[in-house]
Every structure is written in structure tokens, then in C-alpha cells.
Amino acid sequence: MFRGWIVAPARPRDIFLQFSTMNFANRESGLKRAKSEGKTLGRPSTLSDKQKQYVRDTTSPQTIMRIRNARP
């Protein structure tokens, strides 16, 4: 939410930087509020709980580490 300029900007670049800073602060406070309300952030899982348990039970820790380390 825009609440006015802190200091009158001198150049267009300054306007953009000040707006970006305020926008970032608003986004961070919104994420903190959502987490404190217990909302789940991020993309929904495509695996069911049963599928996740199967993967945990059948995959060795070495395989998980190898896949994790192979990602760019």
C-alpha cells in the first residue's frame, strides 16, 4: 500500500527504487502475517500422503543425496 513519499525524489530512478523498497517491505510483512496465521505457503504438493510415505520407505538416503546434488 502506497503511503506517500518519505523524501521527494530527484530522479525517475529514485522514484522506482523507493517504490520497490516499499513494495518489498509490504510483501515481507504480508508473508510474515500469513505464516503467523498458519497458512501454507508455496505450490501445492502433487503427491498424496500415501505416495509420499511410499517414496520415503523405498528410497535410500544415498539416492536422495545423489539426486539432490545433481540438480543445478
- Looking at the domain assignment, is residue 54 inside a domain? yes
Task: Please list the pLDDT of the chain residue by residue as tens digits (72 residues).
Answer: 556 555 655 677 777 777 777 777 788 888 888 889 998 888 888 888 998 888 888 988 898 888 888 866
Nearest to 53 by CA among 45, 42, 62: 45
Q: How many domains does the chain have?
A: 1
pTM comes to 0.37
Range of the domain at 18: 12-70
- Looking at the domain assignment, is residue 3 inside a domain? no
- Looking at the domain assignment, is residue 6 inside a domain? no
- Looking at the domain assignment, is residue 7 inside a domain? no
- Looking at the domain assignment, is residue 2 inside a domain? no
The number of C-alpha atoms within 13 Å of 51 and in the hemisphere containing its C-beta is: 4
